[in-house]
Amino acid sequence: MRTPLRIATYNIHRAVGRDGREDYGRIGEVLTEIAADIVALQEVGFHSGEADNSLEQLASSVESEVIEGITLQDERGHYGNAVLTRLPIDRVRLHDLSVTGREPRGAIELNSRVEGVDIRLVATHLGLRPSERRFQVQRLLPLFEGEAERVDVLLGDLNEWFLYGRPLRRLHRLFGALPAPATFPASWPVVALDRFWARPRTLVKSLRVHSSALARLASDHLPLVAELEISQPEWSG
């Protein structure tokens, strides 16, 4: 039996759109358009545990559970990564990828199980400097070590402008190459800052950019959406 699974990654830019207006309702509408089973969010601003928690509102709009990955707090509230999921959650771990003197960064590791298959998903947002990204990818690689029979997924905003940079080379060695459609800037995307990898690669049936009129307005990034078919695969990759 094969189970279709839709997974997305989306840098929402604190819900500030190309018109300069902050509108989480608009982001929620884009998420509804995507209709993903799991979506990794970056640059989320919210007030954890409070009634006006914009992240909880987003989750409610797509009937998902929230996993917070707070990386910092400023005068506007909490900020960082998040995962919205409709899948059952077995375990969550938060990983600190921060580099001294730079904006704090992190990753969310989520374990789930679909049709008897274990899924490990890691969602992240890497730093702006090449040296940061090299360090952060080196910290992420051990999360995928071992030959366990599971599906591994890594996704998020990697901020990697260089097609042949060391971080991408390391990740391609681990996962193999997958298409990298451009997602930034939303108005006229030319750079593939947002990335998705999975192994075994044979489970990935499509990888596309969601470029509706609303998505082109709601943030400075476009969402990246993957379609997988989860089954008992050949674990050779």
Q: How far, in Å, CA of 44 to CA of 55, rounded?
A: 7
DSSP string, 178-237: ------BSTTS--B--EEEEEESGGGEEEEEE---HHHHHH-SS--EEEEEEESS--TT-
Mean pLDDT of the chain: 92
* Cross-strand partners of 58: none
Q: How far apart are CA 36 and CA 193, in angstroms?
A: 20
- 38-47, 70-79, 121-130: segment of lowest average pLDDT: 70-79
- Percent of the residues in the chain that have a pLDDT greater than 70, as a whole number: 95
In the chain, what are the domains? Answer: 3-230 (3.60.10.10)
The more confidently predicted of residues 57 and 8 is: 8
What pLDDT does residue 53 have?
A: 85
Tokens of 113: 């199980």
Distance separating the N- and C-terminal Cα atoms of the chain: 19
Band (pLDDT 50/70/90 cuts) for residue 237 is very low
| pTM recorded for the entire structure | 0.94
Query: Does the pLDDT of residue 51 top 70, yes or no?
Result: no
Closest CA to 5 of 203, 228, 184: 228
Of the listed ranges 19-33, 115-129, 162-176, 222-236, the one predicted with least confidence: 222-236
**Tokens representing residue 178 in the block:** 């997958």
* pLDDT over threshold 60, residue 39: yes
CB 46 within 8 A of CB 67: no
Give yes or no for residue 235 having a pLDDT over 50: no
Query: Cis omega before residue 88 (within 30°)?
Result: no
16-38 pLDDT, tens digit each: 999 999 999 999 999 999 999 99
**What Cα–Cα distance (Å) separates residue 76 from each residue in 43, 79, 122, 133, 152?**
13, 8, 26, 27, 34
Chain centroid, CA 94 distance in Å: 14
Give the pLDDT of residue 236: 44
223, 30 in Cβ contact below 8 A? yes
* pLDDT interval class at 1 (50, 70, 90): low
Rounded to an integer, what distance in angstroms lies between the CA atom of residue 80 and that of residue 64? 18
pLDDT, tens digit, 9 for 90 and up, residues 52-64: 788 999 999 999 9
192 — phi, psi (to 5°)?
-95, 75
